Homo-oligomer: A and B are copies of this chain.
């Protein structure tokens, strides 16, 4: 089974806000992310880190990965 080892969250603007700091993001393919460990959130792979987050939930189904994550800090870029 092909899977992708991911060490950061790259949203491409597809995240959906579920609560103040809670987001859900759906991505193609089966992707392995670390849960409950601070990881970077970026809009694209080459963009600056915009925040740090904890992934609280990961789901694999129909060749899709859905993660639920919580922002824990924002990087301001004044």
Q: Do A34 and B2 form a contact, CB below 8 Å, given A58-B59, A59-B58?
A: no
Q: Is the interface of A mostly helix, strand, loop or mixed?
A: strand
Q: Which of A10-18, A20-28, A35-43 contacts B (4 or more CB under 8 A)?
A: A35-43
Chain A interface size, as a band, is 10 to 19
Number of copies: 4
Residue of B nearest to A2 (CB): B4
Q: Is A74 an interface residue (CB 8 A)?
A: no
Query: How distant is the Cα of A39 from the Cα of B4 in the complex, in angstroms?
Result: 16
CB-based contact A1/B1 at 8 Å:
no
Residue of B nearest to A66 (CB): B59
Name A34-74 residues within 8 Å CB distance of B.
34-37, 39, 56-61
Where the two chains meet, the residues of A that have a C-beta atom closer than 8 Å to any C-beta of B are: 1-5, 7, 30, 32, 34-37, 39, 56-61
